[in-house]
Chains A and B, each alone.
Chain A
Amino acid sequence: MPELNDYRTKVHNDWCPGCGDFGILNAVQMALLELKLKPHQVAIFSGIGCSGKTPHFVSTYGFHTLHGRVLPIATGAKLANTALTVVAVGGDGDAYGIGAGHFVNTGRRNLDFTYVVHDNGVYGLTKGQASPTLSKGLRTKSMAAPAIVEGINPLATAISAGYTFVARSYALDVRHLKETLKAAILHQGSALVDVLQTCPTYNDINTKEWYAGADLETKAPRLYKLEETGYDGSVRDPADAHEVNEKKGQAIIRSFEWGEKIPIGVFYRIQKPTFEDMLAIRMPAYKETPLVKQDPFHRDVTQLLESLA
């Protein structure tokens, strides 16, 4: 029987003590173990930033790519070998800033993969500049002045772009995160899991205590779980345009709830043909055998040449 250790490498981890990344890393490893995915059947891709080092700590195939470019590379690998379980990880700057174009267009394709975004509101590796998710008016400790631009809403953006599984979790609630990741990986289609995360070094606003509601009069935790409120984000009938729009609208409205109460859980989920399914309509053989297992090396192009004669 595989155990958690089989998903770990011996690479020295240099994340700051108390970093939310540890929770995400553990949850990823636990999810893979519980889904009984063999390490060699999984490929983890990352961008650049503190989160970028994640693949080096997981003993699956690991690709540490470029800042903002994780999705194209992960997409290429998945399309070449559809038998691989592909998980991409990135930071909020990676995903919603420099990689925003790829983020939107990958959602449009609905490739079967999971994107885990470390969302802590700051660029940690370059020492604390505002990331695209930091709210307007906030000033974390290394910023010269409060942010003068709006923060992006990743969930609403993802739903609009076409992601078919859109969820939010919390790095310090490893159990919830692990379950969310499992559902995301099992989901057939593009899954976004935006993970709220503390950065103990640079984000002195959205701290562990802040999420726990220590600054509130009620002292009640800010985070609450959608699934415990009877919220249902799953589309029952994908062919029912009315239901689809209702569920999208509901999810987008809920994704803007931010302040004393912050929802986590699955906001929106729909089962639709994946990019791979669509390619298979054009090329039936694509569905049967992953490209990498096919033999295209004995092709005869005589007919193509003769057609020009």
Chain B
Amino acid sequence: MQSHVDWIDLLVALDKESLFGDLHKQYPTHDGHRHEVSPGGGIIYDAALRLKPEDISRPDVNLYPVPYQEVLLGALKETGHDKELSKYQVMTNTVAFGASVALIDYDFDIVAEAIKKGFTGRKAALGELNVRAARHGYDFMKKTFHDDSAYKLHPVPSKEKRMLIKAVQAVGIAKLRAGCTFQTYYPITPATDESEYLENHQKDYNTVVVQTEDEISAVLMATGAAHAGVRAATSTSGPGFSLMAEGLGWAGHTEAPGPVVILYQRAGPSTGLPTRTEQGDLQFVLHAGHGEFPRIALAPGDVVECFYDTFDAFNYAERFQMPVIVIADKFLASSYRTVPIFDTSHLQIDRGQILSESDLAARSLYKRYEHTPLGVSPRSLPGTRGGIFHTTGDEHDEFGHITENSENRVKMMQKRMHKLQLAAEAISDSKKVNFFGPKQADVTIVGWGSTKGPILDSIQDLEVDGIRCNFLQVRYMSPFPTGLITKYLSNAKRRVLVEGNYSGQLGALIREHTGITMNSKILKYNGRPFSQNEVYEGVREAIKNGVKEVVMAHA
């Protein structure tokens, strides 16, 4: 399971507003969640609200009124805290939580352990109190209501060791494994968590983490460090990436071996919806900065791909001497996933060609931007005897000195841009796209990034409905896998694009490179991630009713 659904099977309403909304306000924002509960589902609510079933008007769901405060008092009495109810009032949520755990028949010991983990040190006693409150909620449910819930949750035994991880952690660990020793950042949601993760481990891994004055500085400080010979990275979100455009150009033009930039997209433009997700920056990543310079852009679709793509990014940056951008998003950044522990045994570091002092001594002349048969000029690291070079954001000759010579300009442009071709040839096809499902299908879904989960999860339901689907996930945006995409899409019966943006940016990119157009688009740009049922409904709408563009907006 790699996605969420929009309906609710069990609603735990802590207050009246959760059920009925805030329609009494001058500017109401919602009309409550009682409508969203699926038939056969349940609602736990505060018995003190004294609601009649007809008030809730959902005869098709089970109602579980629980006197939150009364149950809490029972718990507090046991420890002699019952005179301090107002102080512990907030713990009614733990009571409700305990009640919900009883309903799904989950192992209470696991719950108790999880609660205690949240209260360490001086707060440990409070943890114990919360466990007690949850237990009372749990027991109340068990003795008050029949065990009639259709939804149970039991642990699944697993042979392999698994971990609970989100992308900011996966990326951070990948950076450490890749030998990154230099990270810069300017605080921004949702990217900062990754830099903080690295800063928390900087002592053990001897990694410099610098909080810079802005993202202009962040990208350039990392570029300076990369030129000086370390693996350097920065992480940001859209507004910060906008500021980095100038620096990326300098990195590309001076053939810096980095930096690696992790872009956690959020809903733009401008400040947009700063804590919400979007896939709106794809075309910007590919074009950020004036003029033309090479860059590699990878788009992992889940936490596992975030890990391996980040690792690869450093190899590409050094081997092909250009900035590498890993495009993730807010949804990936902060969504926890349970996955097997990453296998790091096969990971290989590739630093490209670096000349040592003795390599340099064997040469009569060192030219940092030499035209070589291999297409990438070997670099020297500042501080190395015999390796002195110059570099500049002006057009330059093989020594890195400024020249406006026409012939040189053409050769240098070709040298830089050709490296993308080299990268395309060197990188295995299996990394560039993923293709899921049968070769022949009624529908080929096309997507990228974090829509991978909901797309994969919707394919089965669509099959049940008689719509046979396969799925092309594009992972490399630059160099663009034109040949592979053409192979998969040219014979597809119907192509349906799923993207978290307004204009269908990947669709445009595919058309630009291959001439292939999409039959339908399913788009979403309200800042919320795609759910499994939205992909399902969107594809159905596109196929059964021939709709060209379906806009999803579930919140």
Q: Which residues of A contact B392 (CB under 8 A)?
A: 55-56, 63-64
Q: Quick check: A291 and B230 within 8 Å, CB to CB?
A: yes
B171 contacts the other chain (CB 8 A): no
Q: What is the CA–CA distance of A301 and B307 in the complex, to the nearest angstrom?
A: 12
Chain B interface helix/strand/loop/mixed: mixed
Across the two chains, which residue of chain A brings its CB closest to B162?
A: A309
Tell me the minimal C-beta distance from B309 to chain A in angstroms. Answer: 16
Please measure, in the bound complex, the distance between the C-alpha atom of A53 and the C-alpha atom of B402, giving whole angstroms: 9
Contact indicator B163/A292 (Cβ below 8 Å): no
Q: Is the CB of B163 within 8 A of A305?
A: yes
Q: Is the CB of A83 within 8 A of B383?
A: yes
User: B216 near A297 (CB under 8 angstroms)?
Assistant: no
Question: By the criterion CB–CB under 8 Å, are A102 and B206 in contact?
Answer: no
Give the distance in Å from the alpha carbon of A55 to the alpha carbon of B203 in the complex.
35
Q: Does A286 contact B (CB under 8 A)?
A: yes
How many residues on the A side are at the interface (Cβ–Cβ under 8 A)? 56
Chain A nearest Cβ from B374, distance in angstroms: 22
| Of the residues B180, B226, B382, contact of A43 by C-beta under 8 Å | B382
Cross-chain contact B214 with A101 (CB below 8 angstroms)? yes
Q: Is A79 an interface residue (CB 8 A)?
A: yes
Instruction: Give the distance in Å from the alpha carbon of A104 to the alpha carbon of B217 in the complex.
Output: 12
**Residue from the list B208, B210, B217, B383 in contact with A102, Cβ < 8 A:** B217
Q: Please determine whether A63 and B388 come into contact, CB atoms closer than 8 angstroms.
A: no
Quote the shortest CB–CB distance from A301 to chain B (angstroms). 5
A72 in contact with B220 (CB, 8 Å): yes
The answer on a CB contact under 8 Å between A283 and B231 is no
**B residues in contact with A45, CB < 8 Å:** 224
Q: Is the CB of B177 within 8 A of A80?
A: no
- Cα A102 to Cα B220 with chains together (Å): 11
Contact A77 B401, beta carbon cutoff 8 Å: no
B341/A305 in contact, CB under 8 A: yes
- B328-355 residues at the A interface, CB under 8 angstroms: 341-342, 344, 349, 351
> Any chain B CB within 8 A of the CB of A242?
no
**Beta-carbon contacts of A56-70 to B below 8 Å, as 1s and 0s?**
100111111110010
Alpha-carbon distance A281/B254, docked complex (angstroms): 34
Interface size class on chain B is 35 or more
Chain B nearest Cβ from A118, distance in angstroms: 17
Q: Cβ of A41 < 8 Å from any Cβ of B?
A: yes
CB pair B216–A40 under 8 Å, yes or no, is no
List of B residues within 8 angstroms of A285 by Cβ: 206
Question: Does chain A have a CB within 8 A of B232?
Answer: yes
Instruction: Using A77-B382, A296-B180, A308-B169 as known contacts, say yes or no to A69 and B247 having CB atoms under 8 A apart.
Output: yes
Q: A64-B390, A297-B179 are in contact. Are A286 and B208 (CB under 8 A)?
A: yes
Contact status A299-B179, CB under 8 Å:
yes
> Which of B222, B254, B382, B387 gathers most chain A CB within 10 Å?
B382
Residues of A within 8 A of B165 (CB): 308
Contact at A299–B177, with CB atoms within 8 Å?
Answer: yes
Decide: A75 near B250, CB < 8 A? Known: A80-B228, A299-B205, A301-B176. no
A78 to B: closest C-beta gap in Å: 8
- Least Cβ distance of B151 to chain A in Å? 27
With A41-B383, A296-B180 already in contact, the answer to whether A309 and B391 are too (CB < 8 A) is no
Nearest B residue (CB) for A43: B382
Residue numbers in B under 8 Å from A24 (CB-CB): none
A72 in complex: contacting residue of B217, B381, B387, CB < 8 Å: B217
> What residues on A are CB-neighbors of B213 within 8 Å?
101-102, 104-105
Question: What mask results when residues 68 to 88 of chain A are scored 1 for a CB within 8 Å of chain B, else 0?
Answer: 010111111111110110000
Given known pairs A72-B224, A84-B228, A279-B208, the reply for A296 and B179 (CB within 8 Å) is yes
Q: A72 and B390 in contact (CB under 8 A), knowing A56-B401, A292-B229, A301-B176?
A: no
For A80, give its contact among B232, B341, B349 (CB under 8 Å).
Answer: B232
Contact (Cβ within 8 A) A73 B382? no
A64-B394, A309-B163 given; A282·B386 CB < 8 A:
no
Q: Assess the B390–A73 pair: CB atoms within 8 A.
A: no
A182 smallest CB distance to B (angstroms): 21
Contact A72 to B383, CB < 8 A, known contacts A294-B181, A297-B349 = no
Contact of A56 (CB < 8 Å), options: B164, B212, B246, B402: B402
Q: Which of B205, B224, B246 has a CB less than 8 Å from the CB of A296?
A: B205
CB distance from A36 to the nearest CB of B (A): 15
Q: Are B383 and A73 in contact (CB under 8 A)?
A: no
Q: Which positions 166-214 of chain B face chain A at CB distance < 8 Å?
A: 169, 173, 176-177, 179-182, 184, 201-203, 205-208, 210, 212-214
Produce 1/0 per residue, A285-305, CB < 8 A to B.
110000110101101011011
Which residues of B are found within 8 Å of A74, using beta-carbon distances? Answer: 224
> Are B179 and A56 in contact, with the CB atoms below 8 A?
no
CB < 8 Å: which of A39, A66, A291 contacts B246? Answer: A66
**Please, which residues of chain A bring their CB within 8 A of the CB of B162?**
309
Report the bound CA distance from A296 to B227 in whole Å.
17
Kindly state whether residue B356 has any CB partner on chain A within 8 Å.
no
Residues of B within 8 A of A (CB): 161-165, 169, 173, 176-177, 179-182, 184, 201-203, 205-208, 210, 212-214, 216-218, 220-232, 246-247, 250, 254, 341-342, 344, 349, 351, 381-394, 400-402
Interface pairs (5), CB distance under 8 Å: A41-B383, A78-B228, A79-B221, A286-B208, A299-B177
